[in-house]
Structure 1
Amino acid sequence: MTYIVHGATGAQGSPVLAALTAKNHQTVAAARDVSVVDGRAVAVDYSSAESLARAYDGAEGVFVHLPIAPASDQIAFAKTIGKALKTAQPGRVVFSTSGYTVDDDDDGSTGPDTMIRELKASGVSYAVVEPRLFLENLLMPAVHNPVLAEGVLRYPLRENYATSWSSHLDIADVAVQLLTDTSVSGVISVGALPGLLGQDLADGFSTYYSKPVTFEAISPVAFGDLIIPVFGEAAATPVVDSYKYRQAQPHELIPETRSAQKLLGFQPRSVGQWLRDLRV
């Protein structure tokens, strides 16, 4: 049985590929450039339903997430993937929203909302993994280096902003469970419950590094000043805007009713366990 993994050389797909391989499943990386893949790979083009359908044909399962792109491009990609799924009819599809919250009313206008509508219309068994913020954000040099040098975790969230953080490793574990067990479908939210505050994150780093670490809330604009030199203004601006939006929100918690804890019996890693598993 073969599983197709989109983005297998990236932050989200790579852990899924590794987790499937560790369980002795046959895997194929779906990539634009197969020359950068170590292992079995198939060339795909998000704008070509034909190339995607060929990759999906006969597959037991497909893990997919939308590439980082403008909303209009993500919507177009979602429609192309949906067309390919209708043609190829793989056994199972697991889609990660990559941190986007999906619209419960089925009329959202984002790429992930469009992807879910395409999944529903495809006739294929599917599940949607819906995380919030990724712990891997905390390993950006602009965030992680001050932890090591100063014992300070600076991040653009309020001290009292509870968040259902999760890691790419958590998403991979949930994705593999959903790919190989089709008894649970629909949207499964992944993240810590109860949510973690800034100092909870700092405490995890403190335990791992055996040194005091404190949390310091900074403004989204100040965060932008740190990441724009690394990512460029075009890439950093949407990130900064997302944290400006969060400033007006009460929290960022997954709903318990559709949590992986309730639906799958899955408990996301603590910050300390995540750091140990990564061996940072």
Structure 2
Amino acid sequence: MTYVIHGATGAQGAPVVAALAAAGKPVTALTRNPDAVVDGARVVAADYSSTEELTEAYRGANGVFVHLPMVSEEDRQTYARNIIAAVRAARPARVVLSTSGAPTDPDTGGAAAMLASGLADSGVSHAVIAPTFYLENLLMPFVVDTVRERGVLPYPIRADFPVSWASHLDIADAAVALFDRSDVTGVVSVGQYPAITGPDLAKAFGARFGQNVDFEPIAPEQFRTSIAPLIGEGPAADVAGLYTAMSTLPDRSIAPENSAQKLLDITPRTTSQWLADIGL
């Protein structure tokens, strides 16, 4: 029996592997590279595009942590269908899905919503972690380098737009807790509450860097141009579209009634705590 972690060498999966290994749990790290070395884990090569490989990896597992990679929406929907089929065939004891900030409302028709709905219909014990924005987005070179060089934190949201930011470390804490808390099902929102604004982020960065930092709202199109070299043109356009759609909303705050704070007694890191934890 083991805990199977998707993207085990990536930004989301690696902290989950580390947290489980630190707790003495047996871990299977899923990766497309069979030669990868992951501390504290057995490495298994499995691809989202292969239902057979996923089924074999999931069979007999205590838990599976899954999230969809940042690829085209068409590929994400294919991967979601494959994961659902593998879960139904292998019947792992528990599945924890991170939406990575994507909507879970079935009416959206998105891959994350499809995956959440498929898990709900599978009959397998599961929970869905729903973050809003990741603090790690602020580590992209065009953001953090601008903070250092100009004392400006650029991001594609309004200055008065409150967000319940969360880190990948917070997601790992919630995932590990949810593996042990089979009584908690459905959606668990993970993020700072009350939500904070862009100027609040800038203030935390300024305190950490010992300089004045101002927040600068930028257009989603400028964000797209900046992230395209990192994630590709198609995914970058999808991300920019999400920020454009969000520009009409009042906020991206979690609801306290289904928060990790209430359901799991876990309080996500403040921005200052996160900056200290990652040693920036």
Deviation for aligned residue 1:229? 4.8
Equivalent position of 1:233 in the other structure: 233
Which range moved further: 233-242 or 119-128?
A: 233-242
CA distance in 2 between counterparts of 1:107 and 1:228 reads: 28
Does 2:267 align with 1:243? no
Aligned to 1:76: 78
Matches within 5 A, 1:3-82: 3-38=3-38, 39-82=41-84
Relative to structure 1, the CA distance from residue 26 to residue 147 in structure 2 (aligned partners, 3 Å threshold; closer, same or farther) is: same
Shift of residue 150, structure 1, vs aligned partner:
1.8
1:73 CA drift (Å) = 2.0
Instruction: Say if 1:100 and 1:58 are closer, same or farther in 2 by CA, change over 3 A.
Output: same
Count residues in correspondence: 278
* Gap regions ≥5 residues in structure 1: none
CA distance in structure 1 between the partners assigned to 2:83 and 2:233 by the alignment:
30
The letter for the 1-side match of 2:227 is I
Partner of 2:127 in structure 1?
127
Q: Say whether the 8 Å CA contact 1:45–1:51 is kept in structure 2.
A: yes
Is residue 202–residue 214 contact of structure 1 (8 Å, CA) maintained in 2? yes
Query: What amino acid sits opposite 2:208 in the alignment?
Result: Y
In structure 1, distance between residues paired with 2:152 and 2:116? 39
Structure-2 separation of matches of 1:59 and 1:142:
40
Tell me by how many angstroms 1:43 deviates.
Answer: 1.6
Supply the AA of the counterpart residue of 1:42. V
- The alpha-carbon distance between structure 1 residues 228 and 62, as it changes in their structure 2 partners (threshold 3 A), is closer
Shift of 1:271: 0.6
Q: Which runs of 5+ in 2 are unaligned?
A: none
TM-score (ref. length: structure 2): 0.94
- The one-character-per-residue Cα deviations of 1:85-131 (angstroms, maximum 9, x if unpaired) are 1121111110000111211xx44411111111221222211000001
Output one character per residue of 1:13-49: Cα deviation in whole Å (capped at 9) or x when no partner: 1111111111111101012222123341112122222
Q: Determine the structure 1 residue equivalent to 2:221.
A: 221
Specify the code of the residue in structure 2 equivalent to 1:243.
Answer: Y
* Shift in CA distance, 5/230, structure 1 to aligned 2, threshold 3 Å: closer
Q: Per-residue deviation at 1:234?
A: 3.2
Give the secondary structure class of the aligned counterpart of 2:79.
helix
Q: Which amino acid aligns with 1:270?
A: T
Residue matched to 2:97: 95
Tell me which moved more, 214-223 or 189-198. Answer: 214-223
Q: 1:231 offset after TM fit, Å?
A: 4.5
Q: 1:184 deviation in Å? A: 0.7
What is the CA distance between 1:178 and its match in structure 2?
Answer: 0.3
Equivalent AA in structure 1 for residue 84 of structure 2: G
- Whether contact under 8 Å (2:72, 2:235) holds in the other structure is no
Amino acid at match of 2:114: T
Per-residue deviation, 1:72 = 2.5
Structure 2 match to 1:269: 269
AA at the equivalent of 2:202: A
Alignment of 1:107-186 (within 5 A): 107-186=107-186
Q: Structure 1 vs Structure 2: percent identity of aligned residues?
A: 46
Q: Distance in 2 between matches of 1:231 and 1:62?
A: 25
Change (3 A) 1:121 1:222: closer
Aligned counterparts of 1:139 and 1:160: Cα–Cα separation in 2: 21
Distance 2:232 2:186 in 1: 36
TM-score, length of structure 1 as denominator length = 0.94
Return the alpha-carbon distance in structure 2 between the equivalents of residues 52 and 243 of structure 1: 32
Partner SS, residue 69 of structure 1: coil
Q: Which moved more, 1:110-119 or 1:35-44?
A: 35-44
Contact 1:94 1:175 in 2 (8 A): yes
Note if contact 1:125-1:185 (Cα within 8 Å) is conserved in structure 2: yes
Contact 2:70 2:235 in 1 (8 A): no
- SS across alignment from 1:81: helix
Measured in 2, the distance between the counterparts of 1:48 and 1:240 equals 29
Where 2:275 maps in the other structure, the secondary structure is: helix
* 8 Å contact kept, 2:94–2:125: yes
